[in-house]
Amino acid sequence: MTSVSSRGVGETGIPVARECRGGEAGRMASDPLSAEEDRRRVLQRFFTPDGRLMTIPVRHVKRQVVLDHLVQRFELGVVYPESEVRALLSEAHPDHAALRRYLVEDGFLAREDGRYWRCGGTVDLDGV
C-alpha cells in the first residue's frame, strides 16, 4: 500500500488534499423531507430551467446548496486542469472565478498546482 502525505498522491495518481470538508449542503432543516424541500426551493430560485445560475447567493446556507448542485458537474476521481474547470463553471455563470473560489474554500473541490478534483458534495448512491 502506498503511503499518502497530507499533500501527496495516492495509489490512483489523484492528488490528496490536506483537507476536504465536503460542504454543508442539506443542513438547512433537521427533517430530511423538509431539508429536501428547502433544497428544491433554493435551486428553483437561483437556477433557470436550462441550468444557468442567475445569481450567486449571498447567504452561506443557500450558497452551499448551489455549490453542491454545481459540483455535480465534476466526476469523482477525475483531475481537471484549470481551463476545464473554467469551462464547466462558465456554462452555469459568467463569474466562474468566484464559483471556483467558493467551491475550493467550502471544500467541494480541492486544488493543487492548477489541477482540481472533486472532494465534497452529495453523492447519489442509487446511481453508483
Determine how many CB atoms are found less than 10 A away from the CB of residue 104: 17
Give tens-digit pLDDT for 15-71.
Answer: 544 445 444 444 455 666 688 999 999 999 999 999 999 999 999 999 999 999 999
pTM exceeding 0.85: no
User: In angstroms, rounded to a whole number, what is the distance separating the alpha carbons of residues 46 and 70?
Assistant: 12
- pLDDT at 80 exceeding the cut of 50: yes
Show the cell assigned to 104. Answer: 475550493
The full 3-state SS of 55-122, as one line of letters, equals CCCCCHHHHHHHHHHHHCCCCCCCEEEHHHHHHHHHCCCCCHHHHHHHHHHCCCEEEECCEEEECCCC
pLDDT of residue 29: 52
